[in-house]
């Protein structure tokens, strides 16, 4: 059994989305298998604290280069300052905990300093990539312009610690092939990385009693963050088309939160179209299983190239048919008319057509509901995911301690 020092930008109960929740679930599972875990995370939501959570030491002492809720920063100086503090915090935690390896879960807004500090200490270091943000840490390439020369010189001298320069990143896993390809396109050196798909605790998402059964009116669900790139306005536009062009009134629930400007845009769009929409706000994760089962269709409308899709898997496990875009990591497990329906991102008319097709076809709804559940059972359970991660971490230990 190993002593694992885990680094994550956020850790429940302070979190923004599914990846931070998944981090806690994975740590609980690893601890249950006999590994000793310490979590090093940011002060977001709590200030500096050291606590025991799930029988693990959780140190909320890391600094963000920019608070969540503000636009991300690419300031090398800001990243360098946060990085110095975080490197000190990692060295202090390593001295107290004496880890066998460091597992970096998410570095978003933490900078790359914890990874650099772990490598400098000679600790076996494993990283999982959940998003493409490391692309902004790639050193500026040489360009024969005054500004280009200055950026190239500073990135290779005073700001070198705020870039990927010198990092080995030789033990990396990506959560999808899509993300790996995107990171490589950004010149992040992850050629040797392994793709390990994430999983969900399927026992928390029991199959509904009557998969594919349709309510009156049909109940549609969106669950996720509310940003323009999530495409929720496309869903409202499609609902308006169903009402106007086909006389089909749907009951839409939107679970999630985001910037006030976008929320207000969606609320105005719903009011102007006289749509039946419930804005539920941020729903505690423990209430999501019931929400999936209480709705007839799950919609995922993102126009961003998403790294993966945990909400898809949760809905599929619950027996709720999925209609989704597929330009991203979720497209690696969604198959049109086999376990989901796929529509063209940003195309409200296509989305409306897919919703109508699912509403009108009882056999298709039932088939997609059962196929979705089977997909999760066979390929995307938490047990399979942690099995793969555990093998990856053991490989990191073996390579780091020949």
The pLDDT assigned to 48 comes to: 85
Q: Is the pLDDT of residue 253 over 60?
A: yes
- Mean pLDDT over 351-358 rounds to 97
Mean pLDDT of the chain: 93
Does one domain contain both 360 and 327?
yes
The pLDDT assigned to 352 comes to: 97
Dump pLDDT digits (tens) for 194-248: 999 999 999 999 999 999 888 899 999 999 999 999 999 999 999 999 999 999 9
Does one domain contain both 193 and 273?
no
Q: What is the largest CA-CA distance in the chain?
A: 68
Whole-angstrom Cα distance, residue 230 to residue 227?
5
The pLDDT assigned to 248 comes to: 93
The pLDDT assigned to 150 comes to: 73
Does one domain contain both 260 and 158?
no
Give the number of domains in the chain: 2
The pLDDT assigned to 141 comes to: 80
Does one domain contain both 176 and 194?
yes
Cβ atoms of 397 and 100 closer than 8 Å: yes
Does one domain contain both 396 and 371?
no
Dump pLDDT digits (tens) for 133-183: 999 888 888 788 877 767 777 777 777 878 888 888 889 999 999 999 999
Cβ atoms of 106 and 130 closer than 8 Å: yes
Q: Which percentage of the chain shows pLDDT scores above 90?
A: 81
Residue 313 backbone phi and psi in degrees, to 5: -65, -40
Dump pLDDT digits (tens) for 262-319: 999 999 999 999 999 999 999 998 999 999 999 999 999 999 999 999 999 999 999 9
Does one domain contain both 265 and 296?
yes
* Domain range for 372: 202-379
Cβ atoms of 7 and 105 closer than 8 Å: yes
Dump pLDDT digits (tens) for 23-74: 999 999 999 999 999 999 999 988 889 999 999 999 999 999 999 888 887 7
Does one domain contain both 37 and 149?
yes
Separation in Å, CA 81 to CA 66, 70, 113, 115: 11, 18, 10, 15
Q: Assign residue 175 a region: left if phi > 0, alpha if psi is -120 to 50, beta otherwise?
A: alpha
Does one domain contain both 184 and 322?
no
Instruction: With H, G, I as helix, E, B as strand and everything else as coil, classify residue 276.
Output: strand
Task: Read off the pLDDT band of 402 (50, 70, 90).
Answer: very low
Alpha-carbon torsion angle 258, 261, 265, 268, nearest 10:
110
Please report the sign of the dihedral spanned by the C-alpha atoms of residue 374, residue 15, residue 29, residue 110: positive
Does one domain contain both 239 and 309?
yes
Does one domain contain both 9 and 132?
yes
Dump pLDDT digits (tens) for 61-108: 999 999 988 888 778 889 989 999 999 999 999 999 999 999 999 999
Does one domain contain both 135 and 211?
no
Domain harbouring 114, CATH code:
3.40.50.2000
Exposure b/e, 168-193, CB count within 10 A at least 16 = b = ebbbbbbbbebbbebbeeeebbbeeb
Separation in Å, CA 48 to CA 53, 58, 86: 15, 11, 12
Other residues' Cβ atoms within 10 Å of the Cβ of residue 219: 18
Cβ atoms of 81 and 52 closer than 8 Å: no
Does one domain contain both 279 and 130?
no
């Amino acid at each position: 059994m190993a002593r694992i020092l885990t680094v994550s930008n956020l850790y429940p109960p302070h979190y923004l989305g599914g990846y931070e929740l998944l981090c806690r679930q994975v740590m609980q599972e690893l601890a249950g298998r006999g590994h000793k875990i310490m979590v090093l995370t940011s002060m977001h939501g709590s200030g500096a604290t050291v606590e025991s959570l799930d029988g693990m030491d959780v140190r909320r002492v890391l600094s963000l280069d920019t608070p969540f809720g503000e636009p991300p920063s690419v300031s090398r100086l800001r990243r360098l300052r946060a990085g110095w503090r975080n490197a000190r915090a990692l060295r202090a935690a390593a001295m107290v905990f004496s880890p066998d390896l460091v597992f970096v879960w998410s570095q978003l807004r933490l900078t790359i300093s914890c990874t650099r500090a772990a490598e400098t200490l000679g600790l076996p270091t494993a990283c999982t990539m959940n998003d493409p943000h490391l692309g902004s840490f790639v050193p500026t390439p040489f360009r024969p312009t005054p500004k280009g020369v200055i950026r190239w010189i500073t990135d290779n001298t005073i700001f070198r610690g705020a870039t990927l320069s010198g990092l080995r990143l030789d033990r990396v896993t990506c959560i999808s092939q899509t993300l790996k390809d995107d990171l490589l396109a950004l010149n992040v050196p992850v050629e040797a990385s392994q793709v390990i798909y994430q999983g969900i605790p399927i026992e928390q998402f029991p199959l509904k009693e009557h998969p594919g059964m349709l309510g009156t009116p049909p109940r549609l669900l969106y669950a996720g963050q509310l940003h323009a790139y999530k495409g929720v306005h496309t869903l409202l536009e499609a609902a308006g088309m169903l009402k106007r062009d086909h006389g089909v009134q749907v009951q839409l629930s939107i679970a999630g939160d985001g910037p006030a400007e976008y929320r207000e845009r969606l609320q105005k769009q719903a009011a102007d179209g006289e749509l039946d929409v419930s804005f539920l706000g941020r729903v505690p994760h423990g209430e999501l299983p019931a929400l999936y089962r209480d709705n007839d269709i799950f919609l995922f409308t993102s126009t961003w190239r998403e790294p993966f899709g945990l909400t898809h898997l949760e809905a599929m496990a619950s027996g709720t048919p999925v209609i989704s875009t597929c330009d991203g990591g979720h497209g690696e497990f969604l198959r049109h008319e086999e376990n989901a329906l796929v529509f063209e991102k940003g195309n409200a008319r296509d989305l409306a057509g897919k919703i109508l097709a699912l509403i009108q076809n009882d056999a298709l709804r039932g088939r997609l509901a059962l196929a979705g559940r089977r997909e999760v059972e066979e390929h995307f359970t938490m047990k399979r995911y942690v099995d793969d991660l555990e093998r990856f971490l053991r490989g990191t230990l073996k390579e780091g301690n020949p």
